[in-house]
């Protein structure tokens, strides 16, 4: 008689003293297969909408715009699904000796000392809530700024935004532009279908539409398009707001913590540069699902509002009624220089001489773009 035994990690089935262990990789494969169900659902809905609109409805005058929006939607959706999330480079991995020492250490203080030594030459500006180095025990890497571990993908993702079940992929630095375009073109696709089918939907309710099997497709085509329009519009608007603020979904709920404290606007460079950081400098490529995002995903220009005690700074005397930000004197990366180029608007030096004492006072005024 069979008896089930359940352990904390694996399931075993015992018959007559023999134990058969369910392979872990089989369970993992099943989970990965089930994760594709939302993607398959969207694909089926899109295929059916194409059939219902092109074959059943067959409005020739609308075919050009319909196929244009359909191709751009499918292209951006494909790129969002099959673009692999970017991971931290090898320089953020602990050397073998330090990794073994880190594993052997039991005290968190000693482990942090190892991480501080390893991160001394890395371009890191963010910390944990307790001010410690951000380290992933699962991937065994020091997390770059804006990098987070995705439990669904089981990897650390650069500039992670969220894991989306509708694309069965993690949305981050490598495919965030594709995800925004996917929302944009899916919204355009649904709006176009809803707008052009509306007149036939009204005729259906007034019994003016011929009694054919196309009535079913017209009815549900309008309902499906309208339903997706409402849901996609709110999501698309939210992510446009995030792009304008230069925040990820994670950072919107939990502000990044810099060495001097949390700052929700720490990575904001102004609306124009925030848009360019995701879509690139050349506007002619903005609407195409090709990778044009700026930077390398490892380092990001940051607006350090407060004085960083660990970075040498240039002491500036602010002009009256103007806020001045301290600029780190450490060299910036190539991506930071590219994004922050021309940010210093003017440097004016005025000298005030005191006639009585003959002493000299120098005031440095730096104006920056908002």
**Catalytic center residues:** 164
135 closest CA partner among 187, 94, 96, 100: 94
The CA distance from 119 to 102, in Å, is: 14
Dihedral angle sign, alpha carbons of residues 184, 83, 124, 253: positive
228 closest CA partner among 35, 37, 68, 48: 48
180 closest CA partner among 189, 168, 171: 171
What is the DSSP track for 223-266?
HHHHHHHHHHHHHHHHHHHHHHHT--HHHHHSPPEETTEE-TTT
Q: Contact at 8 Å (CB) between 198 and 222? A: yes
Interior CA angle at 45 toward 41 and 46, to 5°?
115
To 10 degrees, the CA torsion angle through 285, 286, 289, 292? 70
What is the DSSP track for 52-118?
IIIIII--GGGHHHHHHHHHHHHHHHHHHHHSPPP---GGGBPPHHHHHHHHH--SHHHHHHHHHHH
With 0-12 / 13-18 / 19 or more C-beta atoms within 10 angstroms meaning exposed / middle / buried, residue 176 is buried
The CA distance from 118 to 99, in Å, is: 10
């Amino acid at each position: 008689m069979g008896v089930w035994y359940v352990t904390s990690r694996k399931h075993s089935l015992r018959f007559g003293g023999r134990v058969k262990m369910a392979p872990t990789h089989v369970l993992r494969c099943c989970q990965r297969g089930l994760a594709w169900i939302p993607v398959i659902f969207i694909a089926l809905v899109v295929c059916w909408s194409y059939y219902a609109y092109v074959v059943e409805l067959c409005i020739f005058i609308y075919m050009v715009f319909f196929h244009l929006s359909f191709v751009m939607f499918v292209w951006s959706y494909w790129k969002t699904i099959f673009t692999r999330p970017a991971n931290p480079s090898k320089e953020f991995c602990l050397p073998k000796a330090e990794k073994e020492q880190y594993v052997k250490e039991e005290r968190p203080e000693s482990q942090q000392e190892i991480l501080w030594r390893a991160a001394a030459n890395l371009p890191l500006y963010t910390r944990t809530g307790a001010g410690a180095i951000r380290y992933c025990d699962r991937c065994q890497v020091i997390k770059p700024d804006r990098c987070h571990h995705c439990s669904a993908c089981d990897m650390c993702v650069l500039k992670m935004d969220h894991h989306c079940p509708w694309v069965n992929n993690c949305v981050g630095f490598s495919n965030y532009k594709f995800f925004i375009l996917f929302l944009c073109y899916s919204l355009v696709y649904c709006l176009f279908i809803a707008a052009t089918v509306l007149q036939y939907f009204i005729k259906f309710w007034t019994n003016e539409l011929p009694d054919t099997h196309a009535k079913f497709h017209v009815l549900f085509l309008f309902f499906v398009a309208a339903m997706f329009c409402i849901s996609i519009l709110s999501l698309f608007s939210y992510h446009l707001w995030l792009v304008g603020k230069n925040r990820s979904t994670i950072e919107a709920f939990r502000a990044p913590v810099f060495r001097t404290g949390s700052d929700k606007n720490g990575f904001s460079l102004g609306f124009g540069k925030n848009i360019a950081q995701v879509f690139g400098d050349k506007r002619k490529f903005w609407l195409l699902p090709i990778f044009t995002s700026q930077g390398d995903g490892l380092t990001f220009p940051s607006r350090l509002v407060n004085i960083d005690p660990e970075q040498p700074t240039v002491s500036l005397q602010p002009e009256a009624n103007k806020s001045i930000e301290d600029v780190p004197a450490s060299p910036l990366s190539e991506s930071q220089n590219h994004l922050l180029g021309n940010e210093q608007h003017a440097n004016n030096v005025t000298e005030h001489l005191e006639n009585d004492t003959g002493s000299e006072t120098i005031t440095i005024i730096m104006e920056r773009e908002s």
